[in-house]
Structure 1
């Protein structure tokens, strides 16, 4: 069964500065090692659909998602339609700036086809999730470096 995953980083910048970066979903490929493209279909808000392309090494696959939470300077989340996972960024003000939390939640598990594809093409759930968590930490580190410039 897939696990919920979480990574956190503290950024020396106000939440509105961090928000400008994480809410611009087109920029996701700059930060995520798995995301090749994330194209919102219209202005980003609750209900906006995106078309995405992801990779793991030489393997590339498309997905679609829908923004399910959009609270400026606080949180953005999107549900991947293909596997039912919910990816989110939550911003918490701190004394030194902002704590940014990235999560992958699987409230109802993932789709059968997604589990089979991960097993067949990506080495199984455990190594795939280990790589996802590593990628989440890399993503947060790149966001931090961008915002703190």
Structure 2
């Protein structure tokens, strides 16, 4: 098992942060991890996210485990099955005075995890960059 976590304080309401996180069609404008996506982030739904990997853009499907508006977005992605590779990715939004604290966490399990250690190290840097990009996105875009 491997877990990655990163937190960021954002000077925007949880609803505004939620709007940025769940507007999958606009990910290409700001998101360093995903270049786009489709689907409705609601528990039980499937999302298709596009991720740059080695010069290619790879679509993959995720299953939404939880979507509590303004509070929590959690999905699961798998490669073949949990014995090979499974990742649960979540964004936890906590209100704070003047804004929101975002905890981003990904927990990975399966046989590929130890073999992909150097790739996961690079991915961890992208998780941090995503938090910073989300902060910028919420600061630079007007609320809906």
Question: Does TM, normalized by the shorter one, top 0.5?
Answer: yes
Verify: 1:148 aligned to 2:115, yes or no. Answer: no
Distance 2:29 2:5 in 1: 20
- Equivalenced residue count is 135
Residue 90 of structure 2, aligned match among 77, 88, 91: 88
SS at match of 1:76: strand
Could you report, residue by residue, the CA deviation over 1:94-129 in whole angstroms, capped at 9, with x for unpaired residues? 1231001111112xx13x4xx2xx88xxxx522212
Could you report, residue by residue, the CA deviation over 1:66-113 in whole angstroms, capped at 9, with x for unpaired residues? 11101011000111132321111110111231001111112xx13x4x
Distance 1:11 1:145 in 2: 8
TM-score (norm 2): 0.82
TM-score (norm 1): 0.79
User: Which residue of structure 2 lines up, in the alignment, with residue 100 of structure 1?
Assistant: 102
* CA root-mean-square deviation: 2.1
- The structure carrying a bigger strand percent of its residues is 2
Distance 1:86 1:148 in 2: 27
User: Which residue of structure 1 lines up, in the alignment, with residue 82 of structure 2?
Assistant: none
Q: Is the 8 A contact 1:66 1:81 kept in 2?
A: no
Q: Is the 8 A contact 1:89 1:101 kept in 2?
A: yes
